[in-house]
Structures are given as structure tokens and as C-alpha cells.
Structure 1
Amino acid sequence: MAVNTASVEFALNPNANPMPEADRLKAFENLGFGTLFSDHMAVIRWNADRGWHDGEITARAPFAIDPAASVLHYAQEIFEGMKAYRTADGRAVLFRPEENARRFNESARRMAMPEIAEETFLEAIEKLVQIDAKWIPEGEGSLYLRPFMFASEAFLGVRPAKDYIFCVIASPVGPYFKGGAKPITIWSTEKFTRAAPGGTGAAKCGGNYAASLIAQAEAQAQGCDQVVFLDAAEHKWVEELGGMNVFFVMDDGSLVTPPLGGTILPGITRKSLITLARDKGLTVHERPYSFEDWKADAASGKLKEAFACGTAAVVAGIGTVKFPGGAFTINGGETGPVTQTLREALVSIQRGQSNDAHAWVKPISGV
């Protein structure tokens, strides 16, 4: 479906019953991830006759959808994950939001959904952050932003829907993993795969995550934080974690990360870390890496570090890998220096603490 390039006007309908300030501040004392939500949401509607229309910033509230809404039956749904940060000098900023807008439309094309003009996508984000700026936590917290779109047309025929809703909600968050920046333990599943060639692995759609939940439950039953998936064809090559990309640091100082090829989500954090690593003179190889090599290299010392990355968790060192029949550790189960250096470099840019040589940080006006 083509992009509707016409601008969308946003009506402003402030929440008449926002959370009391004392309650909000109390909730900020113990932030988890994705359980607390701000007062407002951005909403735009689309149909085949009018395109995108009726944009508004309004009180966060449930949607009233028909039981036959297409999303409930055929899972036409996509989303993004991004954050607003409060810098040391008090500004509210976004990190590479145009990349999220671009990837959102790539997901829309794969899922036969209407694209949205990048300018409209970004305006919805900025207007929501402007009205809910007080929801951006200080310190290490951030305001997690969830743009998403779903098919709302009521019908039971199998075809792309003719009506959609685009929405952005916001959630103040702390660390994604309990325990903060300590290394995580992951589980390598032998039963399940995340995506196959020709499938939706490169799209950020809810179905991919739904398919991963049973493997994630398997990982948790094994005492692990996350699951890592191997390829569907040979069940040999490392692809990605349930919600994050993965990197390996070798003994010659180079980094290896699985290549994009349609089955791996093209992570924005992944893309940024590749650039930062190369800025520091490190060699980055985007090439296949097998699970057997992972085990052997960890045992021999050829592999020095491994880490996962994504918007939610930022960068998390991998300390232990479990699999049916065994386990192994990396760098003695500790976070390595390359992992820590890259994490600090990324976070310092996101929070306006260092030189933003690539102009990745976008200040939000009026906040």
C-alpha cells in the first residue's frame, strides 16, 4: 500500500483526569518495564477511501473494537520500540527516530498494511512526548515509546483490511532486566525457531513475538533470562534472541554478528553499535556464526565476550549459555571491557553526555 503523504492535523484533547502528581512520583520510585503508562496517547485512523485522518492527542483509554476486527483473527499488527531521554541539561531527546519511522514502514509493507509518512509518524511521537514530558524519568530511566498499528476492519474474509488504527503510547521504564547491568543467562532452544526464509522475521510484528513466547517460557524454566534462536533450515546458525540482536567479541578484537537476511530483525541499536565499533577502529564482521563454534570458541578462549542489544535492554553482556545437555560461560561469566565500552559510548550519546558525531540525537522542541 502506498504512503499517504498528505499532512495529518492533530486535535489536542488533554486528559481531564491525569494521574495525581503524588501518585506518579510514588510510582517512579520503583519503575519496572512496561507496567506504568503516561496520561495520553496519539491516535490516527486510516481507511481505503480517506487515507490517514482524524489525528488526535487524547487521554489514554481502551479501544472499542468489533469482535470481528481483522487483527483478532489474522494478526495484521506491527509496532516499534523507541525511547525519550532526559539529558543532563534538561532537554528531552529521541535517538534516531527516523530509523524507527523507516523500519515501521518496512514492516507495514511486509504485512500488507498502509504506510505512514515519516513526518506524520515523527510528529505523533513528538506531540505525545511534549504533552507527557513530566513522565520522562530522571537518572537512568527513560520514557519507552510504543508506536503500533493494527487492522480494525470488521470482516472474516482472508485479505488485507481496509481500516487501520495507528497509535502511540508511552511507559516510563527502568532497567529491562532485573539486577541492572549484570550479565544475563540465555537458553539455546532445540525445539523452536523464530523465523524462516520468506517469513516475517525482518518485520516487527506481534506474531513473531507470539511465536517466541513458548521458547521464552522454556528459557525461564531453565533459570535463564532470554532464549536464543538458531536458523530454521539447518538449526545450526545463531540468529537472534527473543527480542534482541547478538554480538560476539573475538580474541583478535574483532566483532561478529549474524547477518541480516530476512529472518533477523534489523535492530537500530545493532546498526548503531556497528558504527560505534568501527569508529573505535574495531573490525565488525556480519557473517554466520554457528552454535557449535560458539561453544568451542568459548572453551578455547577464542571468544572473549558476547552481548545482546536492543532498544529495551540497550546492551547486556551474556555470561552463561545453557542448552539441552550442558552449559558454558563466557569471560568467566562477567561483562567484558568491549561490551562495557560500547554500552557506555551508546548511552552517553543517547543522554547527551558526549559528542554526537553522527547527529543521532533529536531534541524535542518545547520540552
Structure 2
Amino acid sequence: MTRTVLVAAGGTGGHLFPAAAFAGEMRARGWRVVLMTDERGRRYAEGFPADEIQDVPAATIQGKNPLKIAMAALKIVRGIAAARKRLKIMQPAVVAGFGGYPSLPALEAALAQKRPVVIHEQNAVLGRVNRTYAARAAVVACGFERLDRLPASAASHKVVTGNPVRPAILDVRNAAYPSAAPGQPLRILVTGGSQGARLFGEVTPQAIALLPEDIRNRLEITQQAREEQVAAVRDAYAKMGVKAEVSPFFKDMGARLAAAHLVIARAGASTVTELQAAGRPSILIPLAIAADDHQSANAEALSGIGAADVIDEFDFHPPKLAEILARRLANPHDLAVRAAAARASAKVDATRALADLAEKYARA
């Protein structure tokens, strides 16, 4: 009989994208996959490799407004009740939680019914929901060696699997680091996501303008910018004679990453993981408002091995960025060494390792 794995995830794409990679692997192994999320999580679930997607009520408890807290708590209780009923019907052999508040109802229901739970934490700091259930989970899989906020009672069942990586990024791993010999182009990829593009659009062109002319003349820049910034950023590069492609979104990010000599980015778990898998040196600017400062912790996976420079968001100004860019771009050998260090740190079999753990702890 075909066994069922319930995948609990939501909140943001950062939780759902690795969950999708895991789900695809489980389906390839013959499992029936059910995704349980909420209305917000469903927005990121287009194309999710599940046999069924179910919504349950979920909410984030935050702030100090007593009414809002009570309403959120009530919604969570309703979600747990709904999850319990559905788990009794589907009878999952194992429940895999990928974090985010939408995963809470399924994890609470699974543990109440004594079903095996596998947790995966993408960041280097255990998220609030995963932290709540870590001690009672069969295993806590994680993306990085560092895992802050892990309860002492859960330390014995921590397993470093790495984070699942998209096939397009794994393809970059098979390509050699591009030559940066004298006279050849120097390509910079600037990707900030929804919470970085504005800041990068303001600071990066000004920093490029401060670079020595011999470096600036060789630059080719691919930059993600907010829609309202695209024209201004494009114009800034044009005025200084720098070849640049600026857009709010690039569909062929794998190809862009493959061509890059250096990447400027935030330090979300997926970004750091993809830089490791692709083997690209970087300058990382952790998001200052990230919960528990988890992006600074993530960045350490690369900065700690000499594969990335890290700039605090409050220090991210044109002169600071220009100083680091000038130092790195003037030394092609150092860039190649940093690229090799990033590549060597990758755990490219994370998806398979996660699926192995799920099967290990699943009910027969």
C-alpha cells in the first residue's frame, strides 16, 4: 500500500521551496504527498509536487494588542482541530515540518497522535515553530553546521543535511569558475530580493562610481532592482559607461549566477546555500530586521571559510562597498580561491538525505 507523507510548511517561499524539493523526491520514491499550509502559503505553492494541497487556519502571534493576540490564538486552535481531523483520515506515515506558522497545526496534531515528525530548519537559527517542537521530533535536520536556539534536549538528534537546491543551480556547479584574466570582463550579480533590492539599488551604483577606472571599464553588471528604481539605476550605470542589465526579476538566474565572478546579496538560507552549491564568492548584507538576526548567522557559513565578505546593513554605504569591491576585483586569483572555498562547503545531496531520514523514521 502506498504510504503518505504530510509536508507542513508555509509563510514564505523560503519554507516552501525546500519543502517542494523534498516532496518531489518523496514522490519519485513512490510516496503519496500531501502539503498542509494556509491561505498565505498557498500563494507560494504553485506547481508544488503534491498529490493534494490542504489549507488549515494559521496565524502569527506578534505585537502587544490583546485583541489581536486572542484572535490569532483562536485561529491557531481552530487550525490544530482541523489538522487533527484530517490526519486521522489521511493516516500519514510521517510528517515533515519545514517551519513557518502554517506548519504549527500539522506538527501539533501529529505529535498529539504520536506520529513521527521530521523537522527541517533552513536557517542557522532555529525558527520559532521548529524550536517549539524540536525536542519532540524524531530528528531535527538543518541546513548549516551552526544551529542557534536549538534546545539542549534536541541536540542529540540534530542532523546536518544541508538545504535542498534547485536543479538550475546545481547545473552551475558543473561549470568552471569564469576566467577573470586581465582585459576580460568582470561580472557582478546583484540580487536583493523583495527586502534588499531597494537598498542595493541606492548604494551599489554609487559604489561602482567610486571604483578605479581600470576596474570600472571591465565591469558587466546584472542587477535586480525594484520596478520604480529600474530606470534610475540603469541610467546611473549608463552615465558612467558601465554595461548593465537591470530588471525586477530574472528568469534565468542559474545562467546569471554561472557567469558571475562576484555576487552581492542578502544572506537568506536559500541564497547562502545556492552560493555554496554554485561556488561563487560574495559580499553579503544580512537583513537587519530578520528574526533572531538569522541572516548574520547564515552568512557565517561563507564568511567563516573566506568565501564571503559581510557588511552590516547599517554600514552598507558606497565607500565601504567600493573598498571591498576594489580589493576583490583587483585580485582574480583570490576570487577563484574564494569561489573554490564556497563550492567545497556545499552539501548538494540535501534533498536525498532528507528523504532518507523521513523513510527511516516513518511508520511501516
Question: TM class by shorter-chain length?
Answer: 0.3 to 0.5
Between Structure 1 and Structure 2, which shows a larger proportion of helix residues? 2
Of structures 1 and 2, the one with the larger relative CO (CA 8 A, separation 6+) is 1
